Amino acid sequence: MTEYIKGRFLKGPIPWSWLQKASLQHPKGLHVAINIWFLKAVTKKNDFPLSNKILREMGVSRQAKNESLRKFEEVGLVDLKQVIGKSPIVIVKEN
C-alpha cells in the first residue's frame, strides 16, 4: 500500500556537513538552513529569495535571518544578492 505525503516536507539528500556548519553560525542557524533546503527542493533551483514569512513560521525574526545569512556567506555556505526593499536572493553552495 502506498502512502501519500501531505503538506510540507524536506527533500534530501542534504549534506550533513553543510547543516552542521550552518547550525554553529547562529542560534537560529539550523532553522534558516532547513528553510533554505526546503526552498531549494521546492523551486528546484540553487538560487531563490528567502522571505521573512516562511521563517516566521519557525520563530525566526528578520534580524536573526539576516545575521544567519551573513554568517553563512562568511563561511562559504551561500552567496547573497541583496536588493533594496526585497528579500535577499540566496545562492546555495554545496561544498
Does the domain made of 16-92 have the CATH classification 1.10.10? yes
Q: Which three cell numbers stand for residue 82?
A: 541583496
Of the two residues 1 and 11, the one the predictor is more confident about is 11
Strand pairing category for 78-81 and 47-49? unpaired
**What is the distance between the alpha carbons of residues 62 and 30, in angstroms, rounded to a whole number?**
15
Mean predicted lDDT score pLDDT of the chain: 91
Residue 95 DSSP SS3 = coil
In this prediction the pTM is 0.89
Single-letter amino acid code for the residue at 29: G
Contact 34, 40 (CB under 8 A): no
| β-sheet bridge partners, residue 89 | 49, 81
Q: What is the percent of the chain with per-residue pLDDT over 70, rounded to a whole number?
A: 93
What per-residue confidence (pLDDT) applies to 9? 82
The domain segmentation of the chain, as residue ranges, is: 16-92
